[in-house]
Structures are given as structure tokens and as C-alpha cells.
Chain A
């Protein structure tokens, strides 16, 4: 029975509509000792390193899911008839990082931090479902409150908001930048 755990976990990740969280996995496999489930999962993740497979299991958006390996990107694009994956604009990225680090936040607060009106950018981010409206602020005009969405995590390959680049990483970038200019 124990040997079967890996293929079981693999099949569950495969069939799950959203990233399969560890909690969910454990609750489905409650007949097994939790440590064994975790161990089997770790062993399964090791199989990512095998050259025999084009797919890997990644941890993103709060759980585990299948993805193709980066080296096969050119072929996937050919199949899907995509020449270049569209990337977010600089304005979108800035706005997203403000929301990510300052959420919950209103449009006016975002615009103030950027020094630029962000209404349009926010609208496109909502349409892309990278952000979501979570309510209204109890302030004059009852402005809408924004947060990053689950799709935001998936898009950037983050498992949770804790995975966002840390303050130290940001400060390091700033120093590097200064360094390179002098």
C-alpha cells in the first residue's frame, strides 16, 4: 500500500482543477500516516529531475500542479501557435507590486504612490483577474478596495504572498543598481 502513495498523489494532482494543497491532499489520503504522505510527495517532486519526462510538478498558487518544463517552451509555443507570450506592461507591474505589498488598498492610494493616475491600469488588471475587489472602504466616497488574486500567485509562480520578494531582496537590488551606475 505504501508504495502506491506516489502514483496516487500524482493522479490527484493531475485531476485537480486548481493547485492541490497539502492540506487537501492529506485529507483525501487520511488513511495514510501524514508523514508518509509528505515523504511520498517529496519523492514525487524528485522525479522532476528525470530527463525522461517533459512535465514537472511545481508548487504555485497554494498547491501543487503540473507544468511543462522550461526547456520545452519552444515546442509548446509552436503547438499553441503562440509566437511570444505577452508580458505585463511596466505600469501594470508597478501597480501590481504596490497592491501586493500594500493590500488592501484603494485606487487613490495606488495613484498617490505612483504619482500617476492608475484607473485604467487597475481596470486591465481586474480584467486579467490578477487583482480582485474585496469590498469598499469606510471612507468618504466609499472607494473600492483591491487585493491580489489567486491567479496573481499562479502567474508569478508564488505559493503564497509570503513568497513575494523580501525587503532584503528589494534593498539589495537598489544597491546593485547604484553600484552598476557608479
Chain B
């Protein structure tokens, strides 16, 4: 009954506003409350601590579902423990059977973790003043040895996914194409014919760098035929097209 009395008198002072965000988690909040109420961690009055804890949850300003779930989980645990303690038992509970025991162990563990991180923070502060060189002057390329000892599977996977990402982006890249004009292509074909007399047009198409260039080549051929500058013969369907310069044109060239 003592516990209930103190519950009623325990002031839920509005002046003592603490935002939930400053707590790393529910255990952090619990430890804070225990210290604030000067409670012996090995003998926690469950009703008081549960009420205090829930008060803090109600006071929070923003709702962050994920974080809230973690805080509520511990709230449920507190209520569960209290209910366990209310159950009538035949024997007086020893320390091992105390329903608060697992929570107390967790809190004690967490307290140690907090203390350890405090000590690590001190070391971090100290060490941050000792600057070390992060890279040596570059070695010449032939001496360079790639050190793989520090590369973990995780690194590899990460590198792979970065590459994938980059590749993905590449799909959207506009590749500046070589500009092929009909005039230039016609001139090019004529030049080739001047040198070689006869031209296997399928072979010539194969040498083109892009579909566009091949297309322009074909149009050029048609234009040249139309302009009566070349003759083209295809013996049968799907056979190669052979192209010659017209005789009169050939004579003109040196």
C-alpha cells in the first residue's frame, strides 16, 4: 500500500519537461527515471516507475511510430511485471523468482554499456587530437600492390552494387553520335571506288560503325545510282551488291 500512497503524492511536475528525443531508447529513459526518483535499482517500485514512464510517453510532442513501438514494448513489460507481482503466491519470492529480475539485469547491463561508451568517448576526444597521415605519397605504378587483406565480402558486395547503380545511370546517357552526312558518305564511296575499281557493298556496310552510318551509306549508294555516277549489280536476292564507277567518270580521274 505504501507504493500506492507514494504514487498519488508523487508530483508529475510539468516544469520538468524532458523531450523523449534526448533518450537513446526506452532503457535510457528508465534509467533516467530511476535515478531521478532515487530508486534502488535492485528494488524497483513498479507502480511508481510505470506511471512515471507512461507520463513521459504521453508528454512527447512528435509521434515517431518506430521509436514509439520500442518505448511501448518496455511499457508493456513494466505493466506485465507489475501484474505478476500482484498475483498471490504460496511462497515468498526469492531473488531468482522475482519477476523484476530479468528487467533489472537488462538495466544493469545497459548501465554498463553506457558507462563503457562514456569511457570510449573520452578516448575518442583524446585521440582526435592526434592526427595521423591517412595516405602515403603515391608509389610509382609498377610498385603498387593492391592490398586485399582488408577487403571483406561486404566491401565487394558494396562495390558491385555501386557499379550496378552506375550502369543503371549509363542507360540514360546520351552518347554523342558521329555525324554522318549524305554528301560526305557519297564522296567517301566515290573515293573508295577510285582506288579499288569495284566495291563489295555488303562488306562495306559491315565496316560501318553504326546502324545510322550503314543506313546513310545505303542511301548514298541509291543517290549515286540516281545521279548515274555508279553502276550497281546484285546477281540475286540476298547476294552481295557490286558497285562500279561509270566508265566516263573513271576516265576523268587521273
**Nearest residue, chain B, Cβ from A163:** B123
Would you call A156 and B127 a contact (CB within 8 A)? yes
Can you list 16 pairs linking A and B with CB atoms under 8 Å apart?
A: A56-B130, A68-B131, A70-B126, A87-B121, A88-B124, A91-B24, A94-B114, A94-B117, A96-B117, A113-B113, A115-B106, A133-B154, A173-B119, A177-B115, A181-B35, A182-B38
Q: Which of A66, A133, A156, A157 contacts B133 (CB 8 A)?
A: A66
Is there a chain B Cβ closer than 8 Å to A33's Cβ? Answer: no
Known: A87-B125, A157-B127. 9 other contacts (CB 8 A): A87-B124, A100-B116, A116-B26, A117-B66, A133-B154, A150-B150, A156-B123, A157-B130, A158-B123
What are the 6 A-B residue pairs with the smallest beta carbon separation, nearest first? Answer: A116-B25, A70-B129, A67-B130, A157-B127, A165-B119, A97-B116
**Nearest residue, chain B, Cβ from A91:** B24
Is there a chain B Cβ closer than 8 Å to A114's Cβ? Answer: yes
| Cβ contacts under 8 Å, A70 to chain B | 126, 129-130
Is there a chain B Cβ closer than 8 Å to A162's Cβ? Answer: no
Tell me the count of chain A residues lying within 8 A, CB to CB, of chain B.
51
Looking at chain A's contact residues, is the secondary structure mostly helix, strand, loop, or mixed?
helix
Is there a chain B Cβ closer than 8 Å to A139's Cβ? Answer: no
Q: What's the nearest-Cβ distance from chain A to residue B130, in Å?
A: 4
**Nearest residue, chain B, Cβ from A154:** B132
**Nearest residue, chain B, Cβ from A61:** B132
A76 to B147, CA, bound (A): 29
Q: Considering residues B111, B126, B132, which has the most beta carbons from chain A within 10 angstroms of its beta carbon?
A: B132
**Nearest residue, chain A, Cβ from B66:** A117
| Cβ contacts under 8 Å, B116 to chain A | 97, 100-101, 164-165, 170
Q: Considering residues B24, B35, B73, B153, which has the most beta carbons from chain A within 10 angstroms of its beta carbon?
A: B24
User: How big is the B interface, by class?
Assistant: 35 or more
Would you call A114 and B120 a contact (CB within 8 A)? no
Is there a chain A Cβ closer than 8 Å to B112's Cβ? Answer: yes
**Nearest residue, chain B, Cβ from A88:** B124
Would you call A165 and B126 a contact (CB within 8 A)? no
Q: Considering residues A80, A117, A156, A174, which has the most beta carbons from chain B within 10 angstroms of its beta carbon?
A: A156
| Cβ contacts under 8 Å, A88 to chain B | 121, 124
Q: Which residues of B contact A (CB under 8 A)?
A: 24-28, 35, 38, 66, 70, 73-74, 106, 109-121, 123-133, 136, 147, 150, 152-154
Q: What's the nearest-Cβ distance from chain A to residue B225, in Å?
A: 65
**Nearest residue, chain B, Cβ from A176:** B115
Would you call A87 and B128 a contact (CB within 8 A)? yes
Would you call A17 and B133 a contact (CB within 8 A)? no
Is there a chain B Cβ closer than 8 Å to A11's Cβ? Answer: no
Would you call B115 and A174 a contact (CB within 8 A)? yes
Is there a chain B Cβ closer than 8 Å to A65's Cβ? Answer: yes
Is there a chain B Cβ closer than 8 Å to A25's Cβ? Answer: no
Is there a chain B Cβ closer than 8 Å to A53's Cβ? Answer: no
**Nearest residue, chain A, Cβ from B29:** A115
Is there a chain B Cβ closer than 8 Å to A58's Cβ? Answer: yes
Bitwise, A4-41 to B at CB < 8 A (1) or not (0) is 00000000000101000000000000000000000000
**Nearest residue, chain A, Cβ from B67:** A116
Is there a chain B Cβ closer than 8 Å to A85's Cβ? Answer: yes
Is there a chain B Cβ closer than 8 Å to A169's Cβ? Answer: yes
Q: What's the nearest-Cβ distance from chain B to residue A66, in Å?
A: 7
| Cβ contacts under 8 Å, A80 to chain B | 131
A133 to B152, CA, bound (A): 8
| Cβ contacts under 8 Å, A56 to chain B | 130
Give residues of chain A (54-78) contacting chain B, Cβ–Cβ below 8 Å.
56, 58, 60, 65-70, 73, 76
| Cβ contacts under 8 Å, A157 to chain B | 123, 126-127, 130
A133 to B26, CA, bound (A): 27
Would you call B123 and A97 a contact (CB within 8 A)? no
| Cβ contacts under 8 Å, B27 to chain A | 114-116
Q: What's the nearest-Cβ distance from chain B to residue A145, in Å?
A: 12
| Cβ contacts under 8 Å, A94 to chain B | 24, 113-114, 117
